[in-house]
């Protein structure tokens, strides 16, 4: 198996690692081959641990209520759907994965066929993920997506087998699955890993019992360039795109990470991110390559009951060496810092997916003694392309050096045309190449904005991120091209606003987005959450923002204090939801004088597969008023750069004459 090199400190060390081919460090070419090698070398070593919630993390002290809940579930479902605590050796994991692969084959899954997973974080999730990659293609899906979006992913992927959970208390997954049944023509089978469903569903544990436990024959293993996975992008606007990741992509990225970390076989990793996201999947694969134990922190990861409250107890109990998280998790952990727990096993924590505020990093490291390593990547390049060197001091604000065997640069682009490479410290769009970069999306129509040809025969992934690379090779992200707030042609980086507000002592999290504006296109607004017990003084926050934001155009038009920041299932701030709220607010303001309040029935902005975002406007009007209403709404919403759809519902007959007169007057009002 893979033997990590000396931790990289600088570009010189990185080039020394690259003096040998990547595969010379570890020759395995698929997750199944990595699992087979680990099971052969350490058959009885614990590979996986799982606890159902944060209160059950210590197998010696399982609460009575958890034992009773497990017993009741066993009686109801005739299978152990709610075991409080589970462990599996590498040999047992290989047996489960081999059995699951054979089960998938029973339902016609071959090398190009897709198995979709609509699952929380469970041991079975990893068994099914690795098994699907072994015989076909795995497509993990976020169960919290809207049913219409899930359906579009299943149809787009041409899913043959769907693996999910049945009707379990507290889980909305099955009710969403029921709405999809019969609407995915390619679907051959629905397999339930836990819980009950319809009679034609396959019960995973029962079906697995009849499958052979022996390893799959070597001639059946996938090749390095076979497609292994279809992970979806965030899907924050419109339907998510499906990224075609090969076995070579995944193994290359896992090897790159293993080569620069100080981790060894004796270390223990903690999974708190959802397994439908490639970050968790690669962390689990990373564990296979090194022969490490991986702890799955409950079905919902950090959002699992008791995990946040007992997080540092979990680290102490399981001797956790590292975990990967997003900035919002580190902010939340600061609200319940460690007391007297022994955290000496912790080597580091990785922050990725979004920029980590400097104040959050400083406070977390100071209160916990745990070093935060910043990283950077995207699904289109498997998961990681940069990481702070472990052998060097952190440079707050930088996402570190490129990983070994990764090519990276900032460049000036004209659309998708490469103009020139940037000089050191010059801001440009970040371009990436390497074996970890996927071949594109499942739907090639989405590839148009993905690639840049540098004019000398080299194809680069256009990340959409703005960055500068300094003379030492460190990468400094400066903004997201697609998240820029464009106010009257003036580009505003939302991070400037967020970092200014984050420096206020009462602010826990901040997110800046653009509000549609009829004259300027967009104006910046900010959402913040405050520390418990702090008063809501938006005037104070606005004053603080204007003092700390150097660009007057970037001063937020409004600051909205909310109790809880909307997050994606990965834990990133869900800016798309905030943008939706601002679209709704802009429409409401534009229509507020159009009709009496009783005539405006509703405004809702939602993701749309074609338009990105579509705002539904529902008004009450009689048939005779229809054209006047449509014209009046068009006059008010036409100047905004947003898509809307107007639905008119019949007005009560007794109000028809009054409403018609009112509409005639409104339609003639100047805008």
Task: For CA atoms 408, 410, 412, 414, give the dihedral sign.
Answer: positive
- Give the number of C-alpha atoms closer than 13 A to the C-alpha of residue 172, restricted to the C-beta side: 8
Report yes or no on 3 lying in a domain. Answer: no
Report yes or no on 2 lying in a domain. Answer: no
* pLDDT digits 0-9 by tens, 445-501: 888 889 999 888 789 999 988 889 999 999 988 766 667 787 765 667 788 899 899
* pLDDT digits 0-9 by tens, 34-66: 999 999 999 999 999 999 999 999 989 888 877
Specify the DSSP element, H or E, that contains 75.
helix 64-77
pLDDT at 4: 56
Specify the DSSP element, H or E, that contains 360.
helix 358-368
Report yes or no on 554 lying in a domain. Answer: yes
For 237: left if phi > 0, alpha if psi spans -120 to 50, otherwise beta; the answer is: beta
For 400: left if phi > 0, alpha if psi spans -120 to 50, otherwise beta; the answer is: left
149-163, 275-289, 324-338: which has the minimum mean pLDDT? 324-338
**Listed residue (500, 550, 491) closest to 528, CA to CA:** 500
Domain boundary pick from 538, 573, 608 = 573
Report yes or no on 459 lying in a domain. Answer: no
For residue 670, pLDDT over 70 is answered with no
Instruction: Outline where 440-522 has alpha helix (H).
Output: 494-502
Average pLDDT over residues 1-25: 84
pLDDT at 653: 52
CA distance 461 to 91: 38
Angle between helices 247-260 and 31-41 (to 10 degrees): 50
Q: Is 614 helix (H, G, I), strand (E, B) or coil?
A: strand
Q: Where are the beta strands (DSSP E) in 186-339?
A: 189-192, 202-203, 227-232, 242-246, 268-271, 293-297, 322-325
For residue 78, pLDDT over 70 is answered with no
Confidence tier at 131 by pLDDT (50, 70, 90)? very high
* pLDDT digits 0-9 by tens, 516-558: 887 777 899 999 999 888 887 888 999 999 999 877 788 999 9
CA distance 355 to 398: 9
pLDDT at 411: 94
Domain boundary pick from 402, 434, 466 = 434
CATH number of the CATH domain containing 616: 3.30.300
Residues whose CB is less than 8 angstroms from the CB of residue 238 and which lie 6 or more positions away in sequence, other chains included: 607, 608, 609, 610, 611, 612, 613
Report yes or no on 499 lying in a domain. Answer: yes
Q: Report the relative pairing of strands 242-246 and 268-271 from DSSP bridges.
A: unpaired
Task: Quote the DSSP letter at residue 400.
Answer: B
For residue 652, pLDDT over 80 is answered with no
Cβ-contact 133, 140 below 8 angstroms: no
Instruction: Mark whether 566 and 624 lie in a shared domain.
Output: no
Confidence tier at 594 by pLDDT (50, 70, 90)? confident
- Give the number of C-alpha atoms closer than 13 A to the C-alpha of residue 153, restricted to the C-beta side: 31
Instruction: Mark whether 616 and 560 lie in a shared domain.
Output: no
Report yes or no on 474 lying in a domain. Answer: no
Instruction: Outline where 510-624 has alpha helix (H).
Output: 538-548, 575-591
pLDDT at 68: 73
For residue 85, pLDDT over 70 is answered with yes
- Whole-number percent of the chain with pLDDT over 90: 58
Start-to-end CA span in the chain (Å): 70
**Listed residue (516, 514, 525, 458) closest to 491, CA to CA:** 514
- Whole-number percent of the chain with pLDDT over 70: 90
- Give the number of C-alpha atoms closer than 13 A to the C-alpha of residue 589, restricted to the C-beta side: 11
Instruction: Mark whether 517 and 655 lie in a shared domain.
Output: no
CA distance 93 to 307: 25
Q: What does the buried/exposed string (b/e) look like for 145-165 if buried means 16 or more CB atoms within 10 Å of the residue's CB?
A: beebbbbbbbbbbbbbbbbbb
Instruction: Mark whether 541 and 615 lie in a shared domain.
Output: no
Domain boundary pick from 434, 459, 476 = 434
Instruction: Mark whether 411 and 519 lie in a shared domain.
Output: no
Cβ-contact 180, 150 below 8 angstroms: yes
The DSSP string of 270-311 is EE-S-TTSHHHHHHHHHHHHHT-EEEEE-TTGGGSTTTTTTH
Instruction: Mark whether 637 and 519 lie in a shared domain.
Output: no
Task: Quote the DSSP letter at residue 356.
Answer: P
* pLDDT digits 0-9 by tens, 181-230: 889 999 999 999 998 899 999 999 999 999 999 999 999 999 999 999 99
pLDDT at 72: 67
Instruction: Mark whether 526 and 591 lie in a shared domain.
Output: no
Average pLDDT over residues 663-670: 30
pLDDT at 235: 44
CA distances for 50 relative to 158, 318, 665, angstroms:
32, 11, 66
Provide the residue range defining the domain that includes 628: 587-668
Report yes or no on 464 lying in a domain. Answer: no
Average pLDDT over residues 142-149: 85
pLDDT at 661: 36
**Listed residue (245, 295, 269) closest to 123, CA to CA:** 295
CATH number of the CATH domain containing 392: 3.40.50.12780
Instruction: Mark whether 551 and 621 lie in a shared domain.
Output: no
Q: Report the relative pairing of strands 85-89 and 293-297 from DSSP bridges.
A: unpaired
Q: How far is CA 669 from the centre of its chain?
A: 46
Instruction: Mark whether 309 and 342 lie in a shared domain.
Output: yes
For residue 70, pLDDT over 80 is answered with no
Other CB atoms within a 10 A radius of the CB of residue 630 amount to 15
Instruction: Mark whether 567 and 595 lie in a shared domain.
Output: no
For residue 341, pLDDT over 70 is answered with yes
**What is the number of structural domains in the chain?**
3
Instruction: Mark whether 279 and 179 lie in a shared domain.
Output: yes
Instruction: Mark whether 518 and 644 lie in a shared domain.
Output: no
Q: What does the buried/exposed string (b/e) look like for 596-628 if buried means 16 or more CB atoms within 10 Å of the residue's CB?
A: eeebbeebebebbeeeebbbbbebbbbeebeeb
Confidence tier at 337 by pLDDT (50, 70, 90)? confident
For residue 666, pLDDT over 60 is answered with no
CA distance 229 to 665: 59
Report yes or no on 439 lying in a domain. Answer: no
**Listed residue (553, 550, 526) closest to 538, CA to CA:** 526
Specify the DSSP element, H or E, that contains 603.
strand 600-608
């Amino acid at each position: 198996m893979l033997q990590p090199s000396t931790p990289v400190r600088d570009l010189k060390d990185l080039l020394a690692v690259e003096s040998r081919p990547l595969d010379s460090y570890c020759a395995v070419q698929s997750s199944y081959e990595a699992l087979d090698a680990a099971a052969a070398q350490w058959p009885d070593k614990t590979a996986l641990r799982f606890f159902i919630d944060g209160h059950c993390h210590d197998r010696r002290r399982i609460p009575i209520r958890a034992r009773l809940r497990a017993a009741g579930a066993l009686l109801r479902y005739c299978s152990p759907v709610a075991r409080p605590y589970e462990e599996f050796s590498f040999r047992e994991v290989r047996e489960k994965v081999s059995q699951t692969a054979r089960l998938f084959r029973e339902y016609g899954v071959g090398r190009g066929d897709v198995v979709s997973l609509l699952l929380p974080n469970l041991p079975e999730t990893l068994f099914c993920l690795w098994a699907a990659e072994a015989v076909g293609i795995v497509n993990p899906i976020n169960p919290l997506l809207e049913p219409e979006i899930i359906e579009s992913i299943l149809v787009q992927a041409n899913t043959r087998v769907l693996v999910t959970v049945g009707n379990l208390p507290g889980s909305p997954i099955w009710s969403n699955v029921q709405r999809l049944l019969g609407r995915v023509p390619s679907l051959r089978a629905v397999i339930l890993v836990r819980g009950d469903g319809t009679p034609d569903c396959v019960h995973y544990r029962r079906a697995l019992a009849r499958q052979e436990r022996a390893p799959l024959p070597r001639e059946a293993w996938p090749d390095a360039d076979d497609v292994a996975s279809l992970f979806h992008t965030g899907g924050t606007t419109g339907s998510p795109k499906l990224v075609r990741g090969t076995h070579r992509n995944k193994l290359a990225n896992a090897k790159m990470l293993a080569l620069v970390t100080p981790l060894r076989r004796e270390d223990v990793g903690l999974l708190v991110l959802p397994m439908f996201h490639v970050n968790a999947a690669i962390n689990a694969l990373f564990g296979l390559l090194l022969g490490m134990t991986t702890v799955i922190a409950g079905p919902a990861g950090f959002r699992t009951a008791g995990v946040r409250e007992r997080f540092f107890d979990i680290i102490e109990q399981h001797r956790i060496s590292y975990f990967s998280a997003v900035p919002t998790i580190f902010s939340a952990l600061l609200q319940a810092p460690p007391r007297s727990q022994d955290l000496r096993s912790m080597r580091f924590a990785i922050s990725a997916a979004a920029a980590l505020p400097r104040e959050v990093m400083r406070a977390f490291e100071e209160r916990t003694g745990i070093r935060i390593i910043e990283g950077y990547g995207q699904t289109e390049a498997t998961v990681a392309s940069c990481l702070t060197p472990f052998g060097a001091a952190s440079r707050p604000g930088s996402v570190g050096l490129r990983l070994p065997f990764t090519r990276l640069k900032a460049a000036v682009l004209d659309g998708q045309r490469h103009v020139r490479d940037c000089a050191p410290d010059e801001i440009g769009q970040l371009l990436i190449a390497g074996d970890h970069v996927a071949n594109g999306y499942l739907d090639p129509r989405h590839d148009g904005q993905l690639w840049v040809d540098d004019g000398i025969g080299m194809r680069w992934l256009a990340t959409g991120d703005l960055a500068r690379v300094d003379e030492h090779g460190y990468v400094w992200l400066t903004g997201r091209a697609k998240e820029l707030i464009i106010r009257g042609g003036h580009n505003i980086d939302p991070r400037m606003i967020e970092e200014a507000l984050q420096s206020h002592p009462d602010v826990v999290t901040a997110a800046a987005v653009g509000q549609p504006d009829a004259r300027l296109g967009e104006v910046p607004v900010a959402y913040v959450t405050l520390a418990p017990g702090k008063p809501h003084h938006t005037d104070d926050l606005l004053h603080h923002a204007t003092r700390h934001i150097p660009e007057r155009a970037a001063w937020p038009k409004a600051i909205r204090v909310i109790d809880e920041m909307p997050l994606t299932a990965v834990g990133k701030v869900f800016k798309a939801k905030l943008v939706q709220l601002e679209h709704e607010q802009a429409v409401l303001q534009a229509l507020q004088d159009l009709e009496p309040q009783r005539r405006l029935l509703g405004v809702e902005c939602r993701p749309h597969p074609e338009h990105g975002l579509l705002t539904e406007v529902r008004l009450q009007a009689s048939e005779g008023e229809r054209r006047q209403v449509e014209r009046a709404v068009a006059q008010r919403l036409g100047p905004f750069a947003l898509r809307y759809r107007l639905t008119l519902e019949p007005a009560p007959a007794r109000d028809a004459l009054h409403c018609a007169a009112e509409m005639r007057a409104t339609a003639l009002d100047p805008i």
